[in-house]
Amino acid sequence: MSERKKVTLPTLFKKVSEGTPITWLTCYDYPTAYLQDQAGIDMILVGDSLGMTMLGYDSTLPVTMADMIRHTQAVRRGAPNVFLVGDMPYMSYQPSVESAIRSAGRFMAEAACDAIKLEGGVEMADRIEGIVKAGIPAIGHLGLTPQSVSALGGFRVQGKGALQAKKIMDDAKALEQAGAFAILLEMVPDRVTQLITERAENCIIMSLGSGPDAHGQLLIYHDMFGLYPKFTPKMAKVFGNAGEVILNGLKAYVSEVTDRSFPQRENWFTIKDEEYQELRSLLD
Ligand code: KIV
């Protein structure tokens, strides 16, 4: 198992003060979590994007709290030392401050998270405040917020116009004042991200497709490795095509089983001759 020191809030703020970018990835399962911890990733987000990447839904909306807890527990078992963030699923916090505190509490108690993330700006600031007052570190999420994809008119860049950009900046300030220790900006123009990062006083600004000037970067793991079959968004860099490697392996398996070149002698188990003879005699 990993020998790393546990990544904590002070570790993250130290990186910010030293000007070292924070690394953050999504993850939804035990073996991938193990590899990410070994690779030295600072933060993992168990995103409700698992609805699309792991469960095959067309959006994140059908994902339940039970889905999130189960995947987050698996990730925690694989990555005990990363800073683990649970993503609050649709309608687990929107109805009220109380629902938000209860859902955040489940993530902490049942999945050993270090923090939670929720989507929305000034209208969700009271949820952030309630969660933080309950002693739970909280991250806000602005820009393209997938749980509101219908209201936003699709998966598109947010804050391209000055007024919309100003609204995102106001939202960021409201979340920071409510106590969010970090804010994720998704698909926000680079110079807007730069302004928000410069103006953040005690808040870590993270970027997903929002430029290089934030305090760190987030990517969706499945996009990095060609593992999401439907599309790869522009903001994702493909660091390796694991999807292609796996597909080629699967095709080879089909072919080798079909032509009987698999399995070979080293791939199966045997019984000793005397045991086999006795077995035969038992059958006679
Ligand atoms: O669910 C998720 O993975 C997210 C990212 C899109 C930021 O919220």
Region 238-266: mean pLDDT is: 97
Residue 208 CA: nearest ligand 1 atom is 7
Helices 65-78 + 97-111 axis angle, to 10: 30
- Output the ligand 1 site: residues, CB below 6 A: 26, 45, 47-49, 60, 87, 146, 184, 186, 208, 220
Residue 26 CA: nearest ligand 1 atom is 3
Instruction: Centre a 10 Å sphere on the Cβ of residue 58 and count the other Cβ atoms it contains.
Output: 10
Is 278 one of the catalytic residues?
no
Percent of the chain with pLDDT over 70: 99
- Cα 85 to Cα 63: distance, rounded to the nearest angstrom: 16
Can you give the pLDDT at residue 131?
Answer: 98
Kindly state the tokens that stand for 242.
């694991």
Atom 3 in ligand 1: residue holding the nearest Cα: 47
Pocket test of ligand 1: the residue of 52, 63, 119, 186 to mutate, having most ligand atoms within 8 Å of its CB, is 186
Among the listed residues 119, 176, 186, 278, the single catalytic one is 186
Which residues, 6 or more positions from 159, have their beta carbon under 8 angstroms from its beta carbon?
Answer: 143, 165, 167, 168, 188, 189, 192
Instruction: Centre a 10 Å sphere on the Cβ of residue 153 and count the other Cβ atoms it contains.
Output: 8
Atom 8 in ligand 1: residue holding the nearest Cα: 47
Can you give the pLDDT at residue 160?
Answer: 92
Half-sphere exposure of 198 (CA within 13 A, CB side): 6
C-alpha of residue 46 to centroid of ligand 1, in Å? 8
Residue 218 CA: nearest ligand 1 atom is 7
- Cα 162 to Cα 31: distance, rounded to the nearest angstrom: 43
Can you give the pLDDT at residue 167?
Answer: 97
- Cα 56 to Cα 232: distance, rounded to the nearest angstrom: 15
Instruction: Centre a 10 Å sphere on the Cβ of residue 173 and count the other Cβ atoms it contains.
Output: 19
Helix then strand then coil, in percent of the chain rounded to 5, is: 45, 15, 40
Can you give the pLDDT at residue 149?
Answer: 85
Half-sphere exposure of 50 (CA within 13 A, CB side): 25
pTM of full prediction above 0.85: yes
Can you give the pLDDT at residue 150?
Answer: 85
Cα 221–156–236 angle (5° rounding)?
A: 25
Tens digits of residue pLDDT in 1-42: 547 899 999 999 999 999 999 999 999 999 999 999 999 999
Which residues, 6 or more positions from 263, have their beta carbon under 8 angstroms from its beta carbon?
Answer: none
Residue 45 CA: nearest ligand 1 atom is 3
Residue pair 196/172 in contact (Cβ under 8 Å)? The answer is yes
- Cα 140 to Cα 27: distance, rounded to the nearest angstrom: 19
Tens digits of residue pLDDT in 95-122: 999 999 999 999 999 999 999 999 999 9
Confidence of residue 231 (pLDDT cuts 50, 70, 90): confident
